[in-house]
Amino acid sequence: MVVVFMCYAAACFSQVIIGEPEMVLVAGGSFEYGSNTGEKNEQPAHTVTLDSFYIGKYEVTQALWFGVMGENPSYFKNCGDCPVEEVTPAQVDTFLIHLSKLMGKHYRLPTEAEWEYAAMGGNRSKGYRYPGSDSLYEVAWMKDNALNKSHPVGMKKPNELFLYDMAGNVWELCQDWWNPAYYKKSPSANPCNRKKALFRVVRGGSWRSGAERCYNKARNRNVYDHRKQNCGFRLVLDN
């Protein structure tokens, strides 16, 4: 637990207690990354091996963002347990630096491969199409049930690793920069495209996505300086 004093215009007038984010251990292993039957940017399926890592049980909430940054940029405000959104990837990078200093640990974004492996359930995977179920309604807030807004995290069924909202609610930003060519020839161990480009990878779909955007293999991208009402992120902590 960390107590943070918020200061504005040279005056400190409030304090926010920040608890450590809940993290889940994902044991390392190998899996089939990508798909041979989905969209072209998901192809080809190829075997990837990952080291163990910890990933956030929930998407980063507005309350946690406010506790670290002292402001709430979200479009859907007054919902501390809802995922933070309307943040640019650049702002997320700054948040990660501040949170790491506060907690004395190194928090980061998941790589795209880590995200997909965790969404599929890691070494506990039961082979579901969506994270935790073959029924999207069980695990996700999406365009057919979300009422055009985000929802508090943890309200739907978790996946095999007890991770919530890996499908729907908000798109989740990854470390990787978007490059379909890299995806096709990525290394077999701990791949991550670190070469800067116009877009960053996002995964998982959102409250306004259809089923085709929410399944485990679906990929998307976000302009580096663009804010969206349906794009947030999830934390990773190295094991």
- pLDDT, residue 133, reads 98
Residues 114-120 have a mean pLDDT of: 98
* Model confidence band, residue 146 (pLDDT cutoffs 50, 70, 90): very high
- State the burial class of residue 157 (Cβ atoms within 10 Å of its Cβ: 0-12, 13-18, 19+): middle
Q: Does domain 24-238 have CATH number 3.90.1580.10?
A: yes
* Model confidence band, residue 192 (pLDDT cutoffs 50, 70, 90): very high
Residues 110-138 have a mean pLDDT of: 98
Chain-centroid distance of CA 79 in Å reads 18
Q: Is the pLDDT of residue 213 over 50?
A: yes
Instruction: Name which residue leads in pLDDT, 226 or 6.
Output: 226
Q: Is the pLDDT of residue 239 over 80?
A: no
Query: What is the signed CA dihedral for 51, 57, 61, 65, rounded to 10 degrees?
Result: -40
SS (H, E, C) 147-188: CCCCCCCCCCCCCCCCCCCCCCCCEEEEEEECCHHHHHCCCC
pTM for this model (two decimals): 0.92
Domain ranges for the chain, please list them. Answer: 24-238
Contact 125, 45 (CB under 8 A): no
